[in-house]
Structure 1
């Protein structure tokens, strides 16, 4: 409750935000100038510094006094306020010491060190106090949310569609109730916790627990359960922006969708489960493995994947797509397994193969092409493992390349459990993944290398987002700050101190795996011993989550959409829990063999069926998504580059290679004579075509075309140069425009041109085509969806 006191004290207290800017600017500027006087005892800056310090100290002491009045006469409380008050008092004490040592140093030079020490320490205290003050008024992440690595946590006002809750005449279903509670808590967390949570409590109101929400604040209850129109919280959030009672009083007002959802929640009885009854309002996927019994075989279906898909189709009234023809299948499987477009001669051999199981045979042969396979899948793993050839950290030795280890692992088809063990308990060759980027300069606690390791392992290996929980208790899951730090402590040389929103709490982190049932880490062990324990515990078959995660990733890579989406949120519901569980268990039973997993998917009827186009990528992530077949995908930057290199002219030459595979590791001879794009450092062309910045983990690429790609494809210097050089070669190689037209279509699209296509191309080329006209033909065909998409 607000303290009852004379109005004058409250008035004076509210002058604190105005007065406090004087000491901040004067003391900090004086400290900067003092740096210039080091070694110059007779500096002409001294009088000015002394004057600024005297004014800064006086205003600082005044600001501390007014701040204490403000805290005592306003209805604000919480941990954040306590820390701000403490550092403010320390700043005041430091200000007094500055004046004392300043006067002593004027009389005796030996006190100059004490003066400077008090000045610089007080300046640091000013910065910390100012940050805490800004956090009080603007929210705890006011500064840190601007960091680029925090962009994934920025809150974007969602669009809530209440029609998605369906008929509520009989009440909400348990699933819809959980969904509603989660959405309500998200709104409260991102709009209200700045002033009404454990860190800061205004008007005696907290909104971060059930008991506190239903208790209300100093003005009484904020909810009238079942009656949103009479609820104080609804009245406050619907007031005009300049009204004295409007909430939030700072920042953006709630959107219409958010207000409507809160009202809907109250009208439905404001459900909020007791923690003892239901410890989670979020869906939590089971940890343990599960291998359901296969459905009964259906006519013409032998692959177990197809049995599960057929059961799903029958339950959802979905029809099978027709099987694709040989040309479409071969192009699809070549691009998916080795990342290359098949040559005309390879297609002719495939046509001529009369074996009934030729697709399975050719698939096996592709998987046996060790170097082509490794050079294609290197792209996938480089994205996932944040591995690149250049970028932040490599110049300063704050980051380690794992390309050689990764390439050899793919080439020899290292079992996945061993692959993960070597990432978690690494050698010098594989340590780059968990070492993190040692960012230059000061960085927030949630991005220290140990926390990067925890975040990356959680995201890539376990399909888990720990970024929110690395700074504070998560708003999007049940993971707590202490749990994230306990996991990060596994990767630490010494015990970490927990920092909440960049403020050290004084608490030391425990040392635990996120799921304690997997095993107990010895907190007294050395870092290497902890990593060895972690590597053994995480890869055990009992960790069904880890194997569901990798199966889901490979499924998305082959089929265009994961069984669970996003692939980093494995607590989300899959479109087929049975297929996901069975495939993960089968993967373990088949000795963690990634190539066998790819073979099982690519040999299925569903993989070989017609692809599906979607009007908008958002439809793939909708809650009512229904699986109907493979989703059409755009060629990756690397696939696009390699196709051009193989058909027309190399996009990259050997000088641009950042990694050169040792072909002696295998008896195979290279099947290509150009630099694969996966082995080349990122550049403007690959960036435009979709290769991500690998300073952070990238587990999915956007398959949607964008403006940057369009500009590169139509006006890019790199592509223009490559196609022109290719046109020069083709002009010398092929005798006539007729042959050029035939070859362009056969080599790019694996088919002959239609009569209409031929006529159009012939009219454009003429009988004696010039280089630029051949280049234009290349360009026209490359822009066709038939070339750019995997059908």
Structure 2
């Protein structure tokens, strides 16, 4: 009856406002009687709702910030409605109309917070496409299904997984009524002490005795029972009840005060594991660690890829370009046993090509772009010159990080963030952006949830985020929870206090210098594991830890990751040496693998067997077309003003990494860089297919190139052979020549050439890195 007696009558005020607007627009009084009736009904309903709402709140001991906002906005709405009635009786239409508008706003505002009380903070987002409420419970076995079948003692990993699942169930189903923001029945379920304390009716969890635990009894009652929990909204699934029951049966396991988190927390300190002894033809540390992993998981080594595959792979990964046909032929003919190491060194020494390719990787991560939000208003600064020079000079990574965090004018754009126009959420103020971005890019951890409220996916607290953001702030920030001021002022603290203590009273410049010095210390193993993992993921298609921004997740080889990070530090923080170490390993040279579904890459049971096959990035694809057929972007497209004056491209076209974003690059996956982007999907999509089929940029490039190719190659045989050599690095097969001639005709036409190039550009051999 609640919706019928409360929601519907108050909602009539919205109809009254609509009729009033229609009446006013038409300059007619024909609807005034109806407006009057609707306003009277709405006003009485508002009074009725407030009175009975206060009674209900008193009987349920409702409390918390959300409840207070709902209560007072409801009372304010009732008052506005009553005053509107007096204006109506006084026949003052202008005042009545204004008050009615304010009343409808009040109804909407109070109703929003009422829905949050009843259904939780995510009552809207959870039912939208992709929201939590719109997804089905996963079928088949899930991560913690062992808890339903294991009758013995749990190992530490299983205890951790069980605690994560329990915390998730409580957060999604119980926190809306039993947490810091609302403590119904004096019961909180968001901490160990609170759960064990219970509420006003006594304890709710009795370890080892789910049959005596009130929590299990309440969530197991049928929906219609007045004591059933949750009282409103979606009930717990059968599986969720089983997990909570099992958790209590096992003693309601929860970390003691000595542990930071119920989640896995990676060690901060660096670790140099012992390299396994050489065996057979395996001598390099990367391969020896992978060999130990293979032996443990009963995986056999496969023969390495052939020379043609390797040269194309390493060219694209190191400098982002296709290898010229003559280089491929020379490399295949080279008989030196160390020719792959020689090739890798040669490519890494091509400083301009290296910088132009890796600009894409760092532009994404540091959200550096050449146009877009913030540049018109001066609310954003690019770091293009600084970044290009840093890559060209192979600046040591510790200095690279220091100059980003304690910047000069050239490098300040990263921590300055985007000064958004208009009113913004408090979690997106520039100081908080700096905290979130430094944490994500440098340390591989997510502070975005903890920038609005205590995180549900980690033990990072709202106070931690604000204390870290204060390092970047000119004045101490007031903590806002879900965009509502709390009246509390955050302190100033680094995320990992073991690294050092920030001076609270120091200037912003000094605090940033302290932070930079603390973060780049060799003892900050997390910083160097994070970048080593990112480079591994870039080269092999999947990180040792996935996602790459969740460095507390379990690596598939902890020893390999720790060794890479420690070796990186020992070699002077040299990014090129790190890349060289990886691309010259036998591991990198293994045949590529694929996955059936994109999400399989992130699966907990993922097994590494070699490089995950990658799709060319937007920039690599564009440059490949430019090299093999016709320039996609002319020299004039390069963002010269953001590059050092003495740098000019060494190619007759602009590298795509150095041009402004456009619909073509967007469709192929370049992000807008208004947020940090540390990985791109390698899956083809509909937008990409449409752009490659009908997009104006690609079509125009094919048209211009076809004219030149028709003049240069008058016969089909020479044209087909040259195109295959440049695009695919090989001569065409007889059946490919025959198919190409059917497309071209006896004498190549411009339309035929366009069709042939388009067909070659869409084959997996061109689009993928094998």
Structure-2 change in CA distance of 1:187 and 1:528 (3 Å) = same
- Listed as ranges, the matches of 1:523-602 within 5 Å are 523-602=504-583
2:193 corresponds to 1:207: no
Deviation at 1:246, TM superposition (A): 5.7
Structure-2 change in CA distance of 1:638 and 1:29 (3 Å) = farther
Distance across 1 between alignment mates of 2:134 and 2:479? 24
Distance across 1 between alignment mates of 2:706 and 2:362? 34
Contact 2:494 2:502 in 1 (8 A): yes
- Listed as ranges, the matches of 1:601-750 within 5 Å are 601-659=582-640, 662=643, 665=646, 670-750=649-729
Deviation at 1:505, TM superposition (A): 1.0
> Which residue matches 1:430?
411
Distance across 1 between alignment mates of 2:103 and 2:491? 32
Deviation at 1:63, TM superposition (A): 6.3
> Which residue matches 1:184?
166
Structure-2 change in CA distance of 1:28 and 1:92 (3 Å) = farther
> Which residue matches 1:318?
299
Structure-2 change in CA distance of 1:63 and 1:577 (3 Å) = same
Distance across 2 between alignment mates of 1:177 and 1:731? 68
Q: Deviations over 1:224-245 (max 9, x none)?
A: 8668789775676577777766
Q: Deviations over 1:185-238 (max 9, x none)?
A: 112212221122221233554332345445666777766866878977567657
Deviation at 1:528, TM superposition (A): 1.7
Contact 2:9 2:41 in 1 (8 A): no
Structure-2 change in CA distance of 1:301 and 1:326 (3 Å) = same
Which residue of 498, 509, 514 corresponds with 2:495?
514
Deviation at 1:438, TM superposition (A): 1.9
- Listed as ranges, the matches of 1:4-403 within 5 Å are 67-82=53-68, 84-85=70-71, 132-140=113-121, 159=138, 161=142, 163=145, 168-213=150-195, 247-255=229-237, 258-259=240-241, 261-262=243-244, 264-265=246-247, 268-269=249-250, 271-276=252-257, 278-403=259-384
Distance across 1 between alignment mates of 2:473 and 2:411? 17
Deviation at 1:303, TM superposition (A): 2.5
Q: Which runs of 5+ in 2 are unaligned?
A: 22-36
Number of residue pairs aligned between Structure 1 and Structure 2: 754
Deviation at 1:124, TM superposition (A): 10
Which residue of 459, 483, 496 corresponds with 1:478?
459
Distance across 2 between alignment mates of 1:260 and 1:775? 61
Q: Deviations over 1:85-119 (max 9, x none)?
A: 46767889999999999xxxx9xxxxx9xxxxx99
Distance across 1 between alignment mates of 2:533 and 2:255? 33
Question: Secondary structure in 1 aligned to 2:183?
Answer: strand
> Which residue matches 1:757?
736
Distance across 1 between alignment mates of 2:201 and 2:692? 62
> Which residue matches 2:754?
775
> Which residue matches 2:30?
none
Structure-2 change in CA distance of 1:507 and 1:19 (3 Å) = farther
Deviation at 1:467, TM superposition (A): 1.1
Deviation at 1:247, TM superposition (A): 4.5
Structure-2 change in CA distance of 1:656 and 1:262 (3 Å) = farther
> Which residue matches 1:785?
764
> Which residue matches 1:37?
none
Deviation at 1:68, TM superposition (A): 3.4
Question: Secondary structure in 1 aligned to 2:572?
Answer: coil
Structure-2 change in CA distance of 1:636 and 1:158 (3 Å) = farther
Distance across 2 between alignment mates of 1:197 and 1:217? 12
> Which residue matches 2:28?
none
Deviation at 1:326, TM superposition (A): 1.5
Structure-2 change in CA distance of 1:258 and 1:530 (3 Å) = same
Q: Which runs of 5+ in 1 are unaligned?
A: 1-10, 33-50, 107-111, 113-117
Distance across 2 between alignment mates of 1:367 and 1:661? 23
Q: Deviations over 1:359-412 (max 9, x none)?
A: 222211211211111111011011111111222222222222111211111111
Mean Cα deviation higher: 249-258 or 398-407: 249-258
Distance across 2 between alignment mates of 1:252 and 1:215? 26
Contact 1:27 1:52 in 2 (8 A): no
Deviation at 1:712, TM superposition (A): 2.3
Structure-2 change in CA distance of 1:12 and 1:603 (3 Å) = closer
Distance across 2 between alignment mates of 1:550 and 1:772? 47
Structure-2 change in CA distance of 1:542 and 1:147 (3 Å) = farther
Structure-2 change in CA distance of 1:289 and 1:717 (3 Å) = same
2:474 corresponds to 1:493: yes
Deviation at 1:165, TM superposition (A): 5.8
Deviation at 1:473, TM superposition (A): 0.9
Deviation at 1:284, TM superposition (A): 0.4
Question: Secondary structure in 2 aligned to 1:76?
Answer: coil
- TM-score (normalised: structure 2): 0.86
Distance across 2 between alignment mates of 1:260 and 1:708? 43
Distance across 1 between alignment mates of 2:444 and 2:338? 36
- TM-score (normalised: structure 1): 0.84
Contact 2:127 2:134 in 1 (8 A): no
Structure-2 change in CA distance of 1:269 and 1:491 (3 Å) = same
Deviation at 1:312, TM superposition (A): 1.9
Distance across 2 between alignment mates of 1:147 and 1:166? 31
Distance across 1 between alignment mates of 2:381 and 2:644? 23
Distance across 1 between alignment mates of 2:192 and 2:747? 80
Distance across 1 between alignment mates of 2:312 and 2:738? 26
CA RMSD after TM alignment: 4.1
Distance across 1 between alignment mates of 2:226 and 2:46? 30
Mean Cα deviation higher: 68-77 or 570-579: 68-77
Contact 1:13 1:70 in 2 (8 A): no
Distance across 1 between alignment mates of 2:480 and 2:149? 45
Mean Cα deviation higher: 479-488 or 269-278: 269-278
Question: Secondary structure in 2 aligned to 1:200?
Answer: coil
Distance across 2 between alignment mates of 1:683 and 1:98? 53
Contact 1:521 1:530 in 2 (8 A): yes
Distance across 1 between alignment mates of 2:114 and 2:267? 42
Deviation at 1:686, TM superposition (A): 1.1
Contact 1:205 1:217 in 2 (8 A): yes
Structure-2 change in CA distance of 1:259 and 1:735 (3 Å) = farther
Contact 1:95 1:122 in 2 (8 A): yes
Deviation at 1:81, TM superposition (A): 2.7
